[in-house]
Copies of this chain bind each other. A is one copy, B any other.
């Protein structure tokens, strides 16, 4: 998706010399025109898959999910993060997510009422790096008995292992921009 790559090149900034910040158009400030185009592109790729639910995780996946759901005409399901899953009633599916960035593990949950074996689910998220959150979301879909149609990722960092891990699990992963590397000066290269 060329317009997305141009935005990444123009506005992605290296934070603390390590993290590529996408704050100016994707996460902190959300460019709604770009987000609508992202939704259109996911619909172009997955539009014939009879998807009836878009699943994501709070919080930066929500904007992607909502603008994608507009194109599909289906509801969004937002998995809840919790460090106190014991506070949730038994009618929630739960799985674990390892956060590599913060070196912690937390639970994610979706209501059993909202995710059933009749669902055909597209998971979306803004960034795929180590794949911790995506793996947890895929676990939730599998536990529920729903059908996982695929994963729509805005930006995949192919120098991190997440994408490979998901594809090894047999998941169809569609990433709109694939970043192959960022050097110490912040120069970004894409995988073609």
- Bound: A59/B73 CA distance, A: 22
Within 8 A of B (CB), among A58-114: 58-60, 62-63, 65-67, 69-70, 73-78, 80, 110-111, 113-114
A181 to chain B, nearest CB (A): 24
Contact partners of A28 in chain B: CB under 8 A: 77-78, 80, 110-111, 114
Q: Does A32 contact B (CB under 8 A)?
A: yes
Q: Does A135 contact B (CB under 8 A)?
A: no
Copies in the complex: 2
B111 contacts A77, CB within 8 Å? no
Q: Assuming A63-B76, A114-B24, is B36 touching A70 (CB within 8 A)?
A: yes
Q: Assuming A78-B30, A114-B29, is B69 touching A66 (CB within 8 A)?
A: no
A21 to chain B, nearest CB (A): 10
- Bound: A138/B20 CA distance, A: 29
B35 contacts A66, CB within 8 Å? yes
Q: Does A23 contact B (CB under 8 A)?
A: yes
Cβ-closest 5 pairs across A and B: A59-B59, A58-B59, A30-B76, A62-B62, A32-B69
